[in-house]
Amino acid sequence: MNFSAKLSRPWLFLSPQKAHDWAPKALKLMSKFRRYRTLTWKPMTWRHLEFHNRLGVAGGVDKNGINIVDWWTWGPGFIEIGTVTPKPQLPNEGQIIGRNFNKKIVWNKMGFPNDGADIIYKRLNQIRTPHFTPIFLNIGKNRNTSLEEAHKDYVTLIERFRNTVDAFVINISSPNTEGLRELFNTTYFENFLGHIKNAIDSGKYDLNPPPCLLKLSPDMSIEDLRFCLETSVKMGLDGWVMTNTTTQRDGKSEFPNKGGLSGQVLSKISRQRLRDSMDLLGSNRKDKLIVSVGGVMEPEDVFERIEIGADLVQVYSTIIFEGPWFFEKVFNESSLYYALKGEL
């Protein structure tokens, strides 16, 4: 990214850590004199949730739900906050974030830093209802919770937030909490999902229970992906978010081996996992929500993921490199794209 391009994105002159720390305050300041904005393109309704457009803020951008009302002034179709854990949690030790402007890569080793369920619950309950857009809550376990007891953290969060958010995203695919991805193994997976589903179904709701989505790893083999999808369908989960960050390296990576990569480097992997999942699901795809995230860098990437079969699309790294204007950029290009396809 050249100097003139950075001038329009001054946060890119800061170190990755400083930019990350100042981003919530900067977004709040930028949004202070803006009104809520609805950017309507290819709207959809799924279950009881209405989406004015298909593009949302990915989990990890707003970890603590600080900027929800600020995001609403920029036009996303939905917002995912978190990852939230039952107890407050600090980041992993050492360097936790890095980026490469020219390659559009973001590296992180954060490990679910967040304010904890109590504070975030109070914060969410101060937001107007019904929500201006759907709010998804990405939930995870505290790093000191054992795998055998992991389901208790997720159940605690579901019970706490069940009447506060519009959907849950179960995050067992982050590479930044040691051993977390082992919950996908046959030793734990079905039993773990059983506890999650029981927690969702056991509540008494006035209208509808919040849907429960599972966030997948891009680093699964086809065999593991098949097992995960088949088990998820059997256990009655409502859909999937595809995918989390990757631990794969090309051998020339400038970033540490620990931690996950997102951005352009994830584009091909995440896109292929979406295609694989569509093929593996077959008729089981019906009525499930599929959200694609990972390497969505341009408006054309958004439209392509929808063409492949995703219902919704999310961005994370693109917000770092392009800023919140990306939602309007996609909106502006959507009219021409769908007009040429005769779908307006």
What are the catalytic residues?
Answer: 174
- Residue with the two structure tokens 């457009």: 53
